[in-house]
Amino acid sequence: MRRWLAICLWSLPLLGQGEDVMDEYEPIALDGSRLGWQVDGSQREAVRLFYSVRYPSPAVANFWQGSLADCQPGETLPAHRLATLRRINWYRAMAGLPADLREDLAATPKAQAAALVAAANGRISHELRPDWRCATPEAQQGARFSAMALGVSGVQAVDAFMRDAGAQNVGANHRRWLLYPQTMRIGVGDVDGPTPAQRASAFTAFDEMYSGNRPPLARDFVAWPPPGWVPYPVVFARWSLSLPQADFRAARVSMLRDGVPVAVQQEPPSAAAGEPTLVWLAEGLGDGASWPCPARDTRYQIRVEQIRQGETERQIEYEVMVFDPDTAHASRHEARVLGPAQTALSGALFSVPALPGATGQQWRALRVTAWAPQDSAEADLGNWRYQGAGGYATLSTRQPGVDLQSFRLAHRHMGDEVLELADSPVLGAAAALTFRSRLGIAGADEQALVEIRPEGQAHWTVLTTQRSAGESRAVDALWREQRIDLRDYAQRRVQLRFRYRFDHGAFYSPEDGRVGWFLDDIRLEDAFRVLASTEPARVEAGQFLFAPDQPGAWRLQARPLVYRAAGEWGALWPVQVD
């Protein structure tokens, strides 16, 4: 998808004061200092948690209430605008800036009208022509004072502005406006047309604080990526350094990666947008390239020399640690509950150790009972549920070696055919999944996978995989007894599934009863079914009182909060209540 980005460099607009859109960050302090989201960039785990909890933004469906055909700018849903502001504040917090941006409700309609014109005409300009569709005086004012993008909207537009790809974005002007320290309010306009070329964004570039005092910062420069730990998905090919009253015309940038020199391509310095800024391309990447996932934590040392500030020459040195937030690491921690293994109905106190980067924690209690599901296909699907395109018999009577019938997964179309455990059990210390399996006739591009997903994780983990060479005979001549050790997931609530995958290539039609993946006699050992769960409650001063309403087997669990947004639940703590 091609994206067009442009930036407006004009004098300060007179924007009205709008009501605050409240979020989890703190209000402006009475003494005039600014607060908001904060993250300690020197701590890998604090940054990882801030990224994993506060960066994601679920899509808001049907967020635009307007019409391209009727030239109605309409408005976007408040949840969509709030998500956009949160994404901007995430970047600002990482950069060490006040992360308390609010919506300017007087500017938003103008930005919305400008975004409509861009989407209706498939082009961006800060000076609208009268003959353009949907052009109005309000749209002209919005276009004149907005950063604009075509092909993206909402949080994707924020990311595109931060990336600032393309020859027309030398100087990273969009990024500089989003990271301008003084800004407190912006107007947000988005249009979601039926095609990428009819999607557009317009964010007012600056507010009435443009010429105000620069707020106190931890360091006097603004860099992206910033000093400290940075997840690789938000590291872009264009690196930048902004500094007030700086003259970068003679400046020189050098970089080391783990002590080895890195290729640097400097771009012409610019003082036109926000603060004077020096931009360079790193690692020989093109301006629109995505940063590669590092095999290990990577340390970059940056030195910018011959910077002039008035009559003074100075240099700036800092380090950026680029890391993969999804990999295991010694610094990675999860919320955990500590306390007695047995208590009475009167209850007991339990503690939750603090986590780097967490602004709070929650706990909950799950009442459980021992559960040992055993499913053969003679009892229909039993404890399992089928998900797929259908159109064939998911219970087969054609396979030898079974009592009457077996479970069957096959493909009529591209996609996944899934048999998933309907419940989400808690696994014990000796948990295991056993089953009988027979992969029949299968295409070389069809894969038989057994997968698990602990509660709170976005992705499934593959436990076993099997595939065919594509021959027109059964892969398994006989049934195979399989046992998968699940002890690594002890005291976790999980989902389990058998997934027959096909996303490209060739497959065999299920009209032939020998085609597909056959399963039978599925058993889960040392598992517990959840009977009831309490509502999450806040941990106060690192502890909480658990006073259950009835005896039995319970599991206690905690999760971190980052400005009231919740992270993943940690391991379960077993408690027997007598």
Residue 564: inside a domain: no
What number of CA atoms fall less than 13 Å from residue 575's CA on the CB side?
A: 28
Range of the domain at 97: 44-204
- The confidence score (pLDDT) of residue 328 equals 82
Shared-domain flag, residues 58 and 182: yes
Q: Which of 471, 492, 515 is the endpoint of a domain?
A: 515
Q: Looking at the DSSP assignment, which residues form a beta bridge with residue 577?
A: 343, 552
Q: Which of 473, 495, 515 is the endpoint of a domain?
A: 515
Shared-domain flag, residues 197 and 240: no
Shared-domain flag, residues 401 and 511: yes
Q: Which comes out higher in pLDDT, residue 222 or 273?
A: 222
CATH number of 446's domain: 2.60.120.200
Q: Between the CA of residue 200 and those of 124, 128, 285, what are the distances in Å? A: 9, 15, 27
Residue 503: inside a domain: yes
Residue 576: inside a domain: no
CATH number of 136's domain: 3.40.33.10
Contact 334, 272 (CB under 8 A): no
Shared-domain flag, residues 54 and 172: yes
**Residue 53 scores a pLDDT above 90:** yes
Residue 367: inside a domain: no
Q: Which comes out higher in pLDDT, residue 508 or 362?
A: 362
pLDDT band at 399 (very low <50, low <70, confident <90, very high): low
**Mean pLDDT (whole number) for 323-330:** 90
Work out the burial of residue 173: count CB atoms within 10 Å of its CB; fewer than 13 is exposed, 13-18 middle, 19 or more buried: buried
Question: Which helix (H) or strand (E) element contains residue 115?
Answer: helix 108-121
| pLDDT tens readout for residues 262-292 | 999 999 988 777 899 999 999 999 999 999 9
| pLDDT tens readout for residues 335-361 | 999 999 999 999 999 999 999 999 999
Shared-domain flag, residues 411 and 291: no
Shared-domain flag, residues 228 and 313: yes
**Mean pLDDT (whole number) for 371-393:** 91
308's CB contacts (< 8 A; 6+ apart) are 246, 247, 249, 250
Number of domains comprising the chain: 3
Place of tokens 């077993």: 574
Q: Looking at the DSSP assignment, which residues form a beta bridge with residue 450?
A: 464, 498
Q: Percentage of the chain with pLDDT > 90? A: 74
Residue 436: inside a domain: yes
| pLDDT tens readout for residues 63-121 | 999 999 999 999 999 999 999 999 999 999 999 999 999 999 999 999 999 999 999 99
Shared-domain flag, residues 54 and 124: yes
Residue 378: inside a domain: no
**Mean pLDDT (whole number) for 303-309:** 96
134-148: string of b/e by CB count within 10 Å (b at 16+)? bbbebbbbbbbbbbb
Shared-domain flag, residues 438 and 468: yes
**Residue 58 scores a pLDDT above 50:** yes
Residue 151: inside a domain: yes
**Least confidently predicted of 4-18, 127-141, 359-373, 408-422:** 4-18
Q: Rounded to an integer, what distance in angstroms lies between the CA atom of residue 518 and that of residue 531?
A: 31
- The confidence score (pLDDT) of residue 11 equals 26
What are the E-state strand segments in 130-288? 146-150, 185-186, 188-192, 199-204, 222-224, 228-231, 238-242, 252-257, 260-261, 264-266, 277-282
| pLDDT tens readout for residues 437-471 | 999 999 889 999 999 999 988 889 999 999 888 77
Shared-domain flag, residues 167 and 254: no
Residue 365: inside a domain: no
Shared-domain flag, residues 243 and 96: no
- The confidence score (pLDDT) of residue 21 equals 30
| pLDDT tens readout for residues 194-218 | 888 889 999 988 777 777 788 889 8
**Mean pLDDT (whole number) for 495-511:** 91
**Is the C-alpha dihedral spanning 440, 445, 446, 449 positive or negative?**
positive
Q: Which of 173, 204, 235 is the endpoint of a domain?
A: 204
Shared-domain flag, residues 76 and 185: yes
Contact 406, 563 (CB under 8 A): no
**Residue 19 scores a pLDDT above 50:** no
**Mean pLDDT (whole number) for 361-380:** 93
**Residue 567 scores a pLDDT above 90:** yes
Shared-domain flag, residues 233 and 196: no
Strands 543-546 and 447-454, by their bridges, are: unpaired
